[in-house]
Amino acid sequence: MTTMLKSRSPVQQRSSHNSQETSLWSSGFGMKLEAVTPFLGKYRPFVGRCCQTCTPKSWESLFHRSIMDLGFCNVILVKEENTRFRGWLVRRLCYFLWSLEQHIPPCQDASQKIMESSGVQNLLSGRAPGGAGEGQTPDLVEKEVQRILGHIQAPPRPFLLRLFSWVLLRVLNCLFLNIQLHKGQMKMVHKAAQAGSPLVFLSTHKSILDGILLPFVLLSQGLGVLRVAWDSRACSPALRALLRNIGGLFLPPEADLSLDSSKGILARAVVHAVMEQLLVSGQPLLIFLEEPPGAPGPRLSALGQAWLGTVVQAVHVGTVPDAMLVPVAITYDLVPDISCDVHQASSPLGLWRGALAVLQRLRSSWGCLHRVCVRVHLAQPFSLQEYTINARSCWSGRQTLEHLLQPVVLGQCTVVPDTEKEQEWTPTTGPLLAFKEEDQLLVRRLSRHVLHASVASSAVMSTAIMATLLLFKHQKGVVLSQLLGEFSWLTEETLLRGFDVGFSGQLRCLVQHTLSLLRAHVILLRIHRGDLVVVPRPGPGLTHLARLSAELLPAFLSEAVGACAVRGLLAGRVPPEGPWELQGIELLSQSELHRQILLLLHLLPQDLLLLQPCQSSYCYCQEVLDRLIQCGLLVAEETPGSRPACDMGRQRLSAKLLWKPSGDFTDSDSDDFEEAEGRYFRLSQQSRCPDFFLFLCRLLSPLLKAFAQAAAFLRQGQLPDTEAGYTEQLFQFFQATAQEEGIFEYVDPNLAISAVWTFRDLGVLQQTPSPAGPQLHLSLTFASRDNQDKLEQFIRQFICS
């Protein structure tokens, strides 16, 4: 069980100005504790299996069904039993003794081995470009190599590691209620480590604490010292020195220089030598594939792709025969405020400023009854060599968003091309540019594939479920008794879709814990019957709830895309305010549904969808349609005289094979495909369907409303301007419009950036070079008011008010 929440009596001693609020909270909780419905304790889906299409051997060999029943462990719960000693003194010194007993491999002379590697020796002898013989003596090149090597890494210090682990264990126990890890997931990782290949952990990034917390978790599970790839721009020199001594890696700034720069060539060669030595020695490596939430820009990290590229290159040249990739995700009830302070600051994080932020956080959590819970997720490891072989065989051509969607938006074409969308927002850095174009494409698709696996294995926390309910179902308020039932319903729906939840316990205690964490964003009102009414605080606090609700979106993404597509299909036929019965009369053909879903898929950013590169858009459209049928929103319409869709016994056998390779479902020779084109559906008339349909549509409303507002802003935006300047203009327009309309869920800088980049890919905005830097200006096509209205109307058809 993940989060074991126990009912606590309210604190007796409170300040006078908090006494009324305390009585209000205690009046609605703690009287009759209701046990949560059985599914929370009996059924938890085991998430994190690797892709069966790309890595079938890893999918089968590194998993056994018995590991599903191993349960969870609290990593920071260290007692006398976790040490080799017993006694009253051990119980008081168990944290210190535990840190002394952690297995830390002896430090090897890594620097000497790197200097003796073939790549560095070629530089020193002048046989490689950028080395000696090009105006530099071997001694100068050797000093430069040692300087770059000192910037990248330092030998881990065992004493400092044990001291840091002891201090960190105490700090984590003060900050968090627990840090849960599934024992079965850990067993898969241990089994992969026993195969002899080095482990490379590829993680999401929710907080700057991730780079400290994850190495601590894996060290406590016997995996040794984890080498963490940090961003040198986010850390001061003093902090970099500390992190290097406990296993940190930093990419030298010279590695981003141009391909013909001698300093850039030298730095990249040293980075490759470091990675080769690290993989050969078998040390585990942690790479963050995702940018932290506070950093504006693309979701996929350019630095993470650069480090992953060096791993792929090392396996490709045969330095190591293979590497095991482990997707990792970490989820919090609430992301600690430390990360917000860091990313909002313009200067790099310093050692003392970071320590002060931690102390302030400890002070604020001192004596707090409801602390944050954390879940660490380790997905099934898979072979990099196996993925490389299988992934190269399923690449297909792609087209830009301008070619795919612009003719449809302007009404010049009704047919959507049957091809994939090419959309890459993450810039390519120097280390990745040095690879062949085919290898660059492999790294980009691998990183997207792994990030999809990490997100799919992440557990949904209670704060995400509560924020979703308050924002999209009960923004005007809800009675607590009703909220308990809705919380239970949404939890069950999440579990039924194969996503785990990061909590368990008694239902009222869970809701109390969640509302306490969201106290700054909700209002509790007591009514005459003794019940409570929960109301989201109006204003900018709704933006915070929207960010939390985004953690639940992956579980319902297929249904949300399908519901918005159905809304767009009905927009031209039935008034949005019309009754549900009137909308249910309309027949929806499968071909129309596929086209509408495909249009919405092209409009939505890849950073949001995170579709697997091995899955075609057509397959995803069929998956969306299947999900709508499974959840009961769509029912098949049986026309008179036709064979029922469920009648499989009367199908005639085709002269051709009835099965197709994965992803190849567009062959016109397929009889089943031709029959599917003639199928029709209606919206179900069940009583629960209208509310559920509206709920699914609202899940995508923050992003779609941001795009619609960006289309409306084209009429008053000041262009030409730099990309950052125009994004700031758009964000200010979001804020002004939200104040007028009272709708704040789309007022997010990242949504403004996504809108600007999507419009740039769509051909609405064009970028031209200038002496002051690249400038954005409105394209000639969308300079007319008519085309701007068409764009806004195209986007608003998917929004359900």
If you write DSSP's letter for every residue of 452-509 in order, what string do you get?
HHHHHHPPBPHHHHHHHHHHHT-TT-EEHHHHHHHHHHHHHHHHHTT--BS-BS-HHH
Q: Residue 41: its pLDDT value, please?
A: 45
**What is the pLDDT at residue 137?**
73
> Is residue 285 within 8 Å of residue 198, measured between CB atoms?
yes
Q: Distances in Å between the alpha carbon of 363 and those of 121, 210, 299, 576, 752?
A: 53, 21, 32, 51, 35
> How many helices (H) and strands (E) would you count in the chain?
35, 19
- Tell me the sheet residues that pair with 478: 534
What is the SS3 assignment for 216-250? HHHHHCCCCCCEEEECHHHECHHHHHHHHHCCEEE
Grouping H, G, I as helix, E, B as strand and the rest as coil, residue 182 is strand
Contacts of 402 (CB under 8 A, 6+ apart): 761, 762, 763
Return the pLDDT at 676.
55
pLDDT surpasses 80 at 790: yes
Q: Where are the beta strands (DSSP E) in 343-458?
A: 372-378, 382-383, 398-400, 420-422
pLDDT at 117: 80
Mean pLDDT of the 463-481 span: 93
Question: CB-side exposure of 504: number of CA atoms within 13 Å?
Answer: 17
Give residue 465's pLDDT band: very low, low, confident or very high (50, 70, 90). very high
pLDDT at 408: 93
Angle of helix 689-699 versus helix 701-713 axis, rounded to 10: 50
- Six-digit token pair at 658? 């009835």
> Which whole-number Å values give the CA distances from 756 to 398, 700, 717, 783, in the listed order?
22, 18, 12, 16
pLDDT, mean of residues 323-348:
73
Residue 161 · residue 225 · CB < 8 Å: yes
Amino acid at 424: E
DSSP string covering 298-338:
-SB-HHHHHHHHHHHHHHHTTSSS--EEEEEEEEESS--HH
**Quick one: pLDDT band at residue 97, thresholds 50, 70, 90?**
confident
Look at residue 679 in the predicted model and tell me its pLDDT: 84
Res 233: pLDDT? 84
**Would you say residue 738 has pLDDT above 90?**
yes
Peptide bond into 575 cis (omega under 30): no
Alpha-carbon distance of 171 to 338, in angstroms, equals 13
Residue 200 has pLDDT above 70, yes or no: yes
Please say whether the beta carbons of 758 and 708 come within 8 A. no
**For residues 498 and 43, is the Cβ–Cβ distance under 8 A?**
no
Confidence check: pLDDT of 579 > 70 = no
Tell me: the pLDDT tens digits for 708-718?
999 999 999 89
pLDDT, residue 654, reads 42
What pLDDT score was predicted for residue 131?
Answer: 63
Among 15-29, 348-362, 760-774, which is the least confidently predicted range?
15-29
Question: Of 678, 675, 598, 679, whose CA–CA distance to 637 is shortest?
Answer: 679
Average pLDDT in the 463-489 region? 93
Q: What pTM does this model have?
A: 0.88
Angle CA(138)–CA(142)–CA(143) in degrees, nearest 5? 120
**Do 72 and 186 contact (CB within 8 A), yes or no?**
no
The domain segmentation of the chain, as residue ranges, is: 64-124+137-336+349-391, 459-548, 702-797
Q: Calculate mean pLDDT across residues 611-632.
A: 90
**Contact between 183 and 73 (Cβ < 8 Å):** yes
Structure confidence at residue 130 as a pLDDT band (50, 70, 90): low
What percent of the chain is predicted at pLDDT more than 90? 43
Give CATH superfamily name and number for 459-548: LOTUS domain-like (3.30.420.610)
Are 286 and 203 spatial neighbours (Cβ–Cβ below 8 Å)? Answer: yes
Q: Order of strands across the sheet with 680-683?
A: 588-589, 680-683, 634-637
DSSP summary character for residue 349: B
How many alpha carbons fall within 13 Å on the CB side of residue 80?
A: 8
Sort strands 248-250 and 227-230 into parallel, antiparallel or unpaired.
Answer: parallel
How many other CB atoms are found less than 10 A from the CB of residue 96?
18
Q: Name the DSSP class of 555.
A: H
Using alpha carbons only, how large is the chain's radius of gyration in Å? Answer: 28
- Identify the band that residue 132 occupies on the pLDDT scale cut at 50, 70 and 90: low
For the segment 38-95, what is each residue's pLDDT rounded down to a tens digit? 344 446 788 888 988 899 999 888 887 777 778 889 998 888 777 777 877 777 888 8
Residue whose structure tokens are 């926390």? 461
The token duo for 209 is: 């604490």
Determine the 3-state secondary structure of 195 from DSSP.
Answer: coil
Average pLDDT over the chain, rounded to whole? 83
Eight-class DSSP state of 800: -
Give the C-alpha distances (Å, rounded to integers) separating 161 from 219, 239, 715.
Answer: 10, 15, 58
Give the pLDDT confidence of 374-407 residue by residue, as tens digits: 999 999 999 999 999 888 766 667 889 999 999 9
Pairing of strands 382-383, 324-332: antiparallel
Tell me the CATH architecture of domain 702-797.
Orthogonal Bundle (1.10)
Q: Check whether 698 has a pLDDT greater than 90.
A: yes
Contact 181, 376 (CB under 8 A): yes
Measured CA to CA, the distance from residue 228 to residue 488 in angstroms comes to 39
Bridge-based pairing state of the strands 285-288 and 199-203 = parallel
Split at pLDDT 50, 70, 90, the class of 10 is: very low
Q: Is it true that 459-548 and 702-797 share their CATH fold?
A: no
